[in-house]
Structure 1
Amino acid sequence: MLAACTAFLGALFGAPAAADAAALPAPVSCASCWHPALNTSWQWQLSSVPAEPFLDVAMYDIDGFNATAATVQRLHATKTGRKVVCYISAGSYEDWRPDAGSFPASVLGKALDGWAGERWLDIRQYGGTLGQIMRARLDMCRSKGFDAVEFDNVDGYTNTTGFPLTADDQLRYNAWLANEAHARGLSAGLKNDNEQIPQLLPYFDWALNEQCWEFSECTTAQNGDYGLDQFVKAGKAVFNVEYNLATSKFCAKANAQNFNSLKKRLDLDAYRVACR
């Protein structure tokens, strides 16, 4: 009875019903976007710009600001069909970026634990200046010739950000990011945020995960109702990195799930050991 009364009063006075709280826009389709094969060799290198000779891999994920258009062009030119992913942080402010001065104080939250110069963002404000900044970053990725985008720190609602972010806030923001990428012909990768995979799967073309084997959160069987295996079942590639586990502790399991898993160092330099 109480729930029914609450719903009635909400409707009467214009408050959104609970079922509508996470209402999301329709996914923007992108038939021309890159959709990586389930088995895709790759390198993830953010702390430095890759230099020739490049690895013989089908995908490079590199820092969108630090890489030049010439580097992206060479990565394309030196291996037929190679794709290049543009790393940007969509959920944190980084004080060393050239656009750092564009962020209004109202969107800057608490510092990211362990990451100097970074602060969480109030993602609820993507309808204003924050959204303009992210659109400009996506325009940069497109202008440099990237094929796809890796959005980092898109799980702020599970962290102490300084803002009362909810799961619904994160769903709306992440769906918006994917749609903005697709509108520019860029493939969109979901970074971590495993708990929201069931809702976000229609928006993203592939997934990138850190340490799901270490924390036993890779599969739906482990978690109950979410897991990266849902991407694979939908024909979408999963890229996974482990930092602390020995390859003997995760590679066989990763290969069995058809994940593209690597052993990397936390600073994401050129070092890599591929599981397959």
Structure 2
Amino acid sequence: MSRALVLAGVVVAVVALALTACAPAKNDPAGFLTGARVDYQLGEAYPPAAGVTVVVRDRTAAPAEGVSSICYVNAFQTQPGESADWPDGTLLERDAVPVVDPDWPDERLVDTSTADKRERIVEHVAPWIRGCAASGFQAVEFDNLDTFTRTDGALTFADNAAVAAELVAVAHAAGLAAGQKNAAEFAADLRDAAGFDFAVAEECAAYEECAAYTDVYGARVIDIEYTDQLPRTFAEMCADEATPAATLLRDRQLSAPGAAEYAYESCSAG
């Protein structure tokens, strides 16, 4: 082989490597969270403040313009007023009485206890996920993965993890990163069982459990702290090395600017 051909081959290889380095890593679908300044807008959608790079909104809302957006899906409990929309037999009952979340009595628990029910649950939730992708979201977060801890054994981790794995597969097929919401003590097991890409935690700094998420997901962790339950100042939380960089402070109602209770701060300078 001539010297010219060898050199040409080297040049092509170098260019290919450079292009690969510049392209988004396919094995890092939640890479947009690194260094992110996040706003959590489940209460009401509103234009994000300057410097915000990621916004979380409910699946019924449109994604925020000009930033990355995460779609909230309550996949293991019903949303208030939506119980009747679920297929027959997919909501948990005990002695013919609906099982509800004790902290959210208008939310019924989804019944993941059999393969048939799990299949019907996934069929019901999958269109929501694809709808998130179609409307322009970059990721989806699945809430209430830990309902099995509130059922006295009626549901198990394996039941919920099996549904989670199917939902993550639907999200990935739709081009979305998939996030675990809460369930700190199960983070590693959920990531391994379902293939989650990132985590969204509530009050992990207040409860000193952020490491349970960051040990598994690294910088791909969002934490929301609330103004009504701060054991120390938010500035002190942000200064703590254990607190995820993408941590924000919100009012419990997740109100919009203009409301008396509205609050928003971020550990990230943006």
TM-score (norm 1): 0.72
Contact 1:171/1:196 (CA < 8 Å) preserved in 2? no
Q: Distance in 2 between matches of 1:238 and 1:34?
A: 10
Q: Which residue of 2 aligns with 1:62?
A: 57
Matched, 1:101 2:85: yes
Name the CA shift for 1:122/1:148 in 2 (closer, same or farther; >3 Å).
same
Q: Distance in 2 between matches of 1:218 and 1:96?
A: 32
Q: Distance in 2 between matches of 1:64 and 1:150?
A: 10
Q: Distance in 2 between matches of 1:117 and 1:138?
A: 23
Q: Which residue of 1 aligns with 2:12?
A: none
The Cα of 1:144 is off from its aligned counterpart by: 1.4
Contact 2:214/2:220 (CA < 8 Å) preserved in 1? no
Structure 2 residue runs of 5 or longer lacking an equivalent are 1-24, 94-98, 257-262
Name the CA shift for 1:268/1:37 in 2 (closer, same or farther; >3 Å).
same
Structure 1 residue identity aligned to 2:173: A
CA shift digits 1:99-131 (9 cap, x unpaired): 842332442341112324211111235533211
Q: Which residue of 1 aligns with 2:206?
A: 214
Q: Which residue of 1 aligns with 2:253?
A: 267
Q: Which residue of 1 aligns with 2:162?
A: 172
Q: Which residue of 1 aligns with 2:175?
A: 185
The Cα of 1:185 is off from its aligned counterpart by: 0.7
Q: CA RMSD in A?
A: 2.6
Q: What percent of counterpart residues are identical?
A: 27
The Cα of 1:258 is off from its aligned counterpart by: 4.2
The Cα of 1:257 is off from its aligned counterpart by: 4.8
Q: Distance in 1 between matches of 2:210 and 2:144?
A: 18
Contact 2:90/2:120 (CA < 8 Å) preserved in 1? no
CA shift digits 1:25-77 (9 cap, x unpaired): xxxx9658443242211100111122x46543110000111x13xxx3xx33x
The Cα of 1:150 is off from its aligned counterpart by: 1.2
Structure 2 residue identity aligned to 1:102: W
Q: Which residue of 1 aligns with 2:32?
A: 36
Name the CA shift for 1:100/1:85 in 2 (closer, same or farther; >3 Å).
farther
CA shift digits 1:3-22 (9 cap, x unpaired): xxxxxxxxxxxxxxxxxxxx
TM-score (norm 2): 0.74
Structure 1 or 2, whichever has the larger Rg, is: 2
Matches within 5 A, 1:140-159: 140-159=131-150
The Cα of 1:188 is off from its aligned counterpart by: 0.5
Matched, 1:231 2:216: yes
